[in-house]
Chains A and B, each alone.
Chain A
Amino acid sequence: MVAGVLGIRDRSRPSSHRGDVMTGTTLDDYTDRYARRVRGMTASEIRALFAVASRPEVVSLAGGAPYIAALPLDAVGEMLGRLGAEHGSTTLQYGIGQGTLELRERICEVMALSGIDAACGASPEDVVVTVGGQQALDLVARLFLDPGDVVLAEGPTYVGALGVFQAAQAQVVHVPMDDEGLIPAALELAIAEQARAGRRVKFLYTIPTFQNPTGVTLTEQRREQVLDICERAGLLVVEDDPYGQLGFESEAPAPLRARRRDGVFYLSTFSKTFAPGLRVGWILAPHAVRDKLVIASEAQILCPSAYAQAAVSTYLGTMPWRQQLKVYREVYRERRDAMLTALEDLMPADTRWTVPGGGLFVWATLPDGLDSKAMMPRAIAARVAYVPGTGFYADGSGNGHMRLNFSFPPPERIREGVRRLASVMEQDIAMRRVFGAVGEPGARRGRTGWDAPGPDLA
């Protein structure tokens, strides 16, 4: 016996890992059995860094959470209690797959505020209630995307949509934007290029108003152009509109769905205007598609939560929700201003950023040579977090940008966060001066992991 060396295991003992090949194990017995869509679902060191952002020492500009503390929580809590105590026999029961008629009627009232009303064909019959906007996206992907299909989307776009399209094994082709939103000429070009390449484009996915991640809004004129282009090309439009009611200055231009009744799917949610914890969103679909959406949704979830639906219906029916929207707008406008002022005062030269008229986010473009993904650990060490631009592109590009959230942290924390961020950037600029222009170490092609935080990060 070798002194001081603990034994080699007794080979007669059965292995506890069925995946053992000779002596090897991958610790995942299912490796060879995963569906193709699971490739790319890997651990990401960037995502792991966000774990630190939940600590109070860190100023998180990385989240996307609404400022729930602005809600009248006493009154909301009392309402929720009554829903259980007095209406539990329905609110704790199964419901219908499409969602309650009461809520669908309320949803139509909400949509009418932004111009999607009965005159343009919006009916409770064509609304399907979903588990947040995310399930609405997944339903659209399920109904329309075959593996290899192309989805056109703004570049950058919502990270959660990229995840849905990737899981559907579709290919996302980004269409560039400027300060006025999606560039119509670029959209035409992209459609033509895909046609030349013989690829099938199924729809345009767009967040036209106070976009995530840029905060940019598609202008009035371009809305018509984009709709015309899609109509000519026979392209469906999936309009995602979680932020449209969170405008700070003036009313946002009317949604695309308010302008066309055919070929446009309208998706929205109560996550940003009421409470994301309830997970209630919806989709307004052309009549013919509605039945398929309901069948697909029943296959996924049977029915949306009756309790959450009742909570939203009751909130909309009995509480001053329009007033609450004003409160959110006021809070967010003040915070946006704090962020813009801090950026103006503190950012290194040659940094640019968008000036959002609503929503939750500012999109910053870094001075040449800086890499937002490579800079993340330095930022975490300085106790500030943001989301690197790479999270918002399907092809792994975007490292010259970052998304900054202003809805959750109070104004003084926002300023402190920007101060820390500016100092991190100065350090990185100095470092790059020393070593010259360098690419990303071990630069990888394509989307290799998840460069954005999970939904729990505020």
Chain B
Amino acid sequence: MMPGMGVTAAEEPAVSGPETTDLHVLVLAGGLSYERDVSLRSGRRVLDALRAVGMQAELRDADVALLPALTADPPDAVVIALHGATGEDGSLRGVLDLCGVPYVGCDARASRLAWDKPSAKAVLREAGIATPDWVALPHDRFSELGAVAVLDRIVDRLGLPLMVKPAQGGSGLGAAVVRDAASLPAAMVGCFAYDSTALVERYVPGMDVAVSVVDLGDGPQALPAVEIVPRNGVYDYAARYTAGRTTWHTPARLEPAVAEAVAQVALAAHAALGLRDLSRVDLIVDSTGQPHVLEVNVSPGMTETSLLPLAVQAAGLDFGRVIGNLVARAAGR
């Protein structure tokens, strides 16, 4: 191992032994969320990766056939590749707990907390972790108090530009950068199409990075940060899922000291929210090198163009072995 390096492939935790290849893993993907399509892609990727390391894995939707199947043939562990409410709001994890089936990832309570961005931001701020100033408002409040008056206060207080996004949800759906007050109402309407509560944040300019955190048995570790440079400047749905529309730099082009600070902030966020096994922390690094946490994902995307698989590869690890390790540990719980 070279000095200054973390875990490399040479000391990668082994997962293929007779005891782990016998594991029967259920990968959950699909669901009824806006991100069904993304989830199905994540699920198939995870399935392939697990099979490649010799595990018995199958893919299933979270539908009315799920619980009978769990009862009839309980898997040794579940991998939740569901994005959106079903996979991330904690409810499904609660049901898996009821069934006594272990799963990869954090428990229901932590999941619910991280899923609701305003709640998660409050926890992060209490823990002393920088996150952009925000206000979260349900749509009812605008009709009660008058949209113009409320929007004016928001602009006065948070300034421009602003980031508007659904309080719950992912993949950039319903999110918009607002650069002038006149386009704020449209952004609010667009956001409220996805969720009944909007999160309006001060927009922090800087480098977009995502830090994946995994715990392979020695406590949570930060993988190399991935820097996101969308070709058109906006990391929207098309930029995320059309290969070629975004350039990812792994590791992010950060000074070593800043890279370390970013990793530590991601680990702190993971810990503050009480997360387990894996998460992805999305941050902005401003021009002074200060990281600001935007949100934390408990069921990060696993598609070909997703950030966690990129980070795993950048760390010199094998995606299948990492997921397999998490599965083996979950099965032992």
Please report A residues at the B interface, Cβ cutoff 8 Å.
Answer: 1-2, 4-10, 13, 16, 21-28, 30-31, 34, 42-45, 47-49, 51-52, 55, 57-58, 374-378, 380, 383, 428, 430-436, 438-442, 448-449
CB distance A44 to B173 under 8 Å? no
Known interface pairs A6-B317, A24-B249, A42-B242; 18 further A-B residue pairs with C-beta atoms within 8 A, sorted by A's residue number: A7-B5, A8-B251, A10-B5, A23-B249, A24-B247, A27-B248, A28-B244, A42-B245, A43-B238, A44-B238, A45-B173, A45-B237, A52-B32, A374-B189, A431-B139, A432-B189, A433-B143, A435-B185
Query: Does B328 interact with chain A (Cβ within 8 Å)?
Result: no
CB distance A6 to B174 under 8 Å? no
Q: What residues of B have a CB within 8 angstroms of the CB of A436 in the complex? A: 147-148, 185
Query: Does B63 interact with chain A (Cβ within 8 Å)?
Result: yes
A16-B313, A374-B193 given as contacts; is B243 within 8 A of A9 (CB)?
A: no
Q: CA of A440 to CA of B7 in the docked complex: distance in angstroms?
A: 47
Could you tell me the distance in whole angstroms from the C-beta of B239 to the nearest C-beta in chain A? 9
CB distance A5 to B238 under 8 Å? no
Least CB separation from B248: chain A residue: A25
Q: What residues of A have a CB within 8 angstroms of the CB of B238 in the complex? A: 42-45, 448-449
CB distance A13 to B316 under 8 Å? yes
A6-B221, A51-B36 given as contacts; is B237 within 8 A of A43 (CB)?
A: yes
A23-B253, A43-B242, A442-B176 given as contacts; is B185 within 8 A of A9 (CB)?
A: no
CB distance B244 to A2 under 8 Å? no
Could you tell me the distance in whole angstroms from the C-beta of B67 to the nearest C-beta in chain A? 16
CB distance A377 to B316 under 8 Å? no
Q: What residues of A have a CB within 8 angstroms of the CB of B222 in the complex? A: 4-6
24 examples of A-B residue contacts, CB within 8 angstroms = A4-B220, A6-B224, A8-B259, A8-B314, A9-B8, A9-B314, A10-B2, A10-B316, A13-B316, A21-B247, A22-B249, A23-B250, A25-B247, A25-B249, A26-B243, A26-B244, A26-B246, A27-B244, A27-B248, A27-B305, A51-B37, A432-B189, A440-B186, A441-B187
A4-B221, A6-B7 given as contacts; is B187 within 8 A of A434 (CB)?
A: no
Query: Does B205 interact with chain A (Cβ within 8 Å)?
Result: no
Q: What residues of B have a CB within 8 angstroms of the CB of A375 in the complex? A: 193
Query: Does B82 interact with chain A (Cβ within 8 Å)?
Result: no
Q: CA of A35 to CA of B10 in the docked complex: distance in angstroms?
A: 42
Q: CA of A377 to CA of B247 in the docked complex: distance in angstroms?
A: 28
Q: List which B46-100 residues lie within 8 A (CB) of chain A.
A: 61, 63
Could you tell me the distance in whole angstroms from the C-beta of A34 to the nearest C-beta in chain B? 8
CB distance A8 to B185 under 8 Å? no
CB distance A51 to B250 under 8 Å? no
Query: Does B280 interact with chain A (Cβ within 8 Å)?
Result: no
Could you tell me the distance in whole angstroms from the C-beta of B163 to the nearest C-beta in chain A? 13
CB distance B260 to A7 under 8 Å? no
Least CB separation from A376: chain B residue: B193
CB distance A10 to B8 under 8 Å? yes
Q: CA of A161 to CA of B36 in the docked complex: distance in angstroms?
A: 27
Q: CA of A52 to CA of B34 in the docked complex: distance in angstroms?
A: 7
Q: CA of A311 to CA of B40 in the docked complex: distance in angstroms?
A: 34
Could you tell me the distance in whole angstroms from the C-beta of B263 to the nearest C-beta in chain A? 4
Please report B residues at the A interface, Cβ cutoff 8 Å.
Answer: 2-9, 30, 32-38, 40, 61, 63, 139, 142-143, 147-148, 171, 173-174, 176, 183, 185-194, 214, 219-224, 229, 234, 236-238, 240-251, 253, 259-260, 263-264, 267, 304-305, 310, 313-317
CB distance B316 to A48 under 8 Å? no
Q: CB within 8 A of B4: which of A1, A28, A30, A432?
A: A1
Q: Most B CB atoms within 10 A — which of A2, A47, A375, A439?
A: A2
Q: What residues of B have a CB within 8 angstroms of the CB of A23 in the complex? A: 249-251, 253
CB distance A48 to B237 under 8 Å? yes
Q: What residues of A have a CB within 8 angstroms of the CB of B229 in the complex? A: 24
Q: What residues of A have a CB within 8 angstroms of the CB of B259 in the complex? A: 8
Q: What residues of B have a CB within 8 angstroms of the CB of A441 in the complex? A: 176, 183, 186-187, 189-191
| Shortest 7 CB-CB contacts between residues of A and residues of B | A7-B6, A441-B190, A28-B243, A28-B244, A51-B37, A438-B186, A43-B241
Q: CA of A427 to CA of B173 in the docked complex: distance in angstroms?
A: 19
Q: What residues of A have a CB within 8 angstroms of the CB of B188 in the complex? A: 435
CB distance A31 to B244 under 8 Å? yes
Q: CA of A25 to CA of B313 in the docked complex: distance in angstroms?
A: 12
CB distance A7 to B316 under 8 Å? yes
CB distance A380 to B249 under 8 Å? no
Q: CB within 8 A of B194: which of A13, A377, A430, A433?
A: A377
A7-B6, A42-B238, A52-B34 given as contacts; is B192 within 8 A of A431 (CB)?
A: yes
Q: What residues of B have a CB within 8 angstroms of the CB of A27 in the complex? A: 243-244, 248, 304-305, 310
Q: CA of A8 to CA of B251 in the docked complex: distance in angstroms?
A: 7
CB distance A48 to B190 under 8 Å? no
Q: CA of A57 to CA of B86 in the docked complex: distance in angstroms?
A: 15
Q: What residues of A have a CB within 8 angstroms of the CB of B317 in the complex? A: 6
Could you tell me the distance in whole angstroms from the C-beta of B198 to the nearest C-beta in chain A? 11
CB distance B185 to A377 under 8 Å? no
Least CB separation from B8: chain A residue: A7
CB distance B176 to A5 under 8 Å? no
Q: What residues of A have a CB within 8 angstroms of the CB of B174 in the complex? A: 377
Q: CA of A184 to CA of B317 in the docked complex: distance in angstroms?
A: 65
Least CB separation from B169: chain A residue: A377
Could you tell me the distance in whole angstroms from the C-beta of A278 to the nearest C-beta in chain B? 27
Q: CA of A214 to CA of B169 in the docked complex: distance in angstroms?
A: 34
Q: What residues of A have a CB within 8 angstroms of the CB of B5 in the complex? A: 1, 7-8, 10
Q: What residues of B have a CB within 8 angstroms of the CB of A430 in the complex? A: 143
Least CB separation from A31: chain B residue: B244
Q: CA of A283 to CA of B175 in the docked complex: distance in angstroms?
A: 46
Q: What residues of A have a CB within 8 angstroms of the CB of B249 in the complex? A: 22-25
Q: CB within 8 A of A52: which of B7, B36, B190, B315?
A: B36
CB distance A26 to B193 under 8 Å? no
Q: What residues of A have a CB within 8 angstroms of the CB of B237 in the complex? A: 43-45, 48
